[in-house]
Amino acid sequence: MSYPLIDKLQKLLAKEVFHRTKAPKKAAGRALGTLVEIITYYLLKTWKLAPHVSIERGLEEYGNPDITHNVEYSLHPIARQTTVRMKNAPSITAGMILKALEKQSFALPGFEKKTNNLLKNGVLRNACTIATSPASFLLSHVVKTTRDALDIHVIEQDKKPFAMLECKRVGVEEGLGKGPQTIEKAKQGAYVAKSSSSLQKIRTDKGELHGIIYKSDGSYIIKPFVPLMEEIISSRDGELLRKFILTVGIVSNHGNWFTAEDHNKELKVLAQSYDWLLFLTDTGLSEFIEHLLLNPKKEHMPIRKAFMSSYGGKKKKNQFTKVQMSIEADGLLVEYFKNNLLKIEGWFNIITPRGKTPATLRSELNELANKDWRNILQ
């Protein structure tokens, strides 16, 4: 079965999954937005960027740190990292992990302990923050499980990110034309993208897009935007990298908002604001839903079970979101994305920069991740 239009799939989800809710189609639309976020997160994990990921951090505006904006995902340099092995238990708390770190002499001066659970009753907390300091965050990830033990990766991330990603999915009410919320949400995303990085966008009187970046002595560089962005990403110059943040938008269609080929007003606003703008196609989102949620193979049934437990009629606890994920579903999603990476990258069309591919973005993010940030951020 295939769904050439995502709207048809939304109606099917409304009928089969959300029929007990007061507004089934609206509930299905919200769930589709959550799925876009989940696909983005597991793509980052497959690109080996999970240790760098924070979820829903407040991002300071460039040159105006009093104003912050929460973003879906930010990618941060790693200051320190280690692995601890713990006995498998129904609940793994931040306090338990911190005690295990003490035994390794992993010093944490100035850190404030958090009360999050990395694992509780079979549900993981993705990018789980266990402590924070004024300059960094301490996060934990489960990297390996056995019947008796868990291997937990603990990462200290620098507060300043080198990239941010936001997912935008906008719908309209049944029977209406284009709703006003579409352009407003596009403008909200555009504002955050344009205000977060030291690399800023300017237009010439002919409409050409240039970039400007300031150095600490007040001097600046102005060049055509994409070449300047590429120069910064490949540079070792701390003056260029220190406050640079690569901004990435992930957008998807909903009803009559736009398509990858139909660059209407909303898409144009986003395309000129993010450094990278990726369009998750109807085909890609439909394939994810059909193969893993509606008609999965036997080995993928735990993914469907986690989805239905979160969104079915008798909702117990969310275990299929970007933050909370069934540990069994997590392992299967990691395996699915790893085994189908090229196909999944093909689910995305690149709106900007033109002529690029998801593999190029993967390479740029990994290049930024591997910079000598300890010296750059001094």
Along the 378 residues of the chain, how does pLDDT read in single tens digits? 455 566 777 777 877 777 777 777 777 778 888 999 999 999 999 999 999 999 999 999 999 999 999 999 999 999 999 999 999 899 999 999 999 999 999 989 999 999 999 999 999 999 999 999 999 999 999 998 888 899 999 999 999 999 999 998 755 544 444 544 567 777 888 899 999 999 999 999 998 999 999 999 999 999 999 999 999 999 999 999 999 999 999 988 755 455 545 556 777 888 899 999 999 988 899 899 989 998 999 999 999 999 988 876 565 678 999 999 999 999 999 999 999 999 999 999 999 999 999 999 999 999 999 999 999 998
| Amino acid type, 85 | R
How do strand 53-61 and strand 149-158 relate by DSSP bridges? Answer: unpaired
Measured torsion, CA atoms of residues 63, 363, 371, 78, in degrees rounded to the nearest 10: 80
Show the tokens assigned to 83.
Answer: 């692995």
| Tokens coding 1 | 């079965």
The pLDDT of residue 175 is 45
What is the spatial distance between Cα 281 and Cα 251, in angstroms, rounded to a whole number? 9
Distance CA 233, CA 227 (A): 10
259 dihedral zone (left: phi>0; alpha: psi -120 to 50; beta):
beta
DSSP E strands in the chain: the ranges are 53-61, 64-75, 78-87, 91-93, 112-113, 117-120, 123-125, 128-132, 136-145, 149-158, 163-169, 200-203, 209-214, 220-224, 246-252, 276-280, 324-326, 348-352
For the chain, give percent helix, strand, coil, nearest 5: 40, 30, 35
Q: How many CB atoms lie within 10 A of CB 378?
A: 7
Q: Which residues contact 255 (CB under 8 A, 6 or more apart)?
A: 7, 171, 172
Burial state string for 261-291 with b = 16 or more CB within 10 A and e = fewer than 16: eeeeebbebbbbbbbbbbbbbbebbbbbbbe
| DSSP reduced 3-state for 96 | helix
pLDDT, residue 265, reads: 74
**The residue count for the chain:** 378
Q: In this structure, which long-range contacts are made by residues 97-103, counting pairs with CB atoms below 8 Å and at least 24 apart in sequence?
A: 97/130, 97/140, 97/152, 97/154, 98/130, 98/131, 100/152, 101/154
Residues near 306 by beta carbon (within 8 Å), at least 6 away in sequence: 319, 320, 325, 326, 328, 329
For 219, half-sphere exposure in the C-beta direction (CA atoms, 13 angstrom radius) is 4
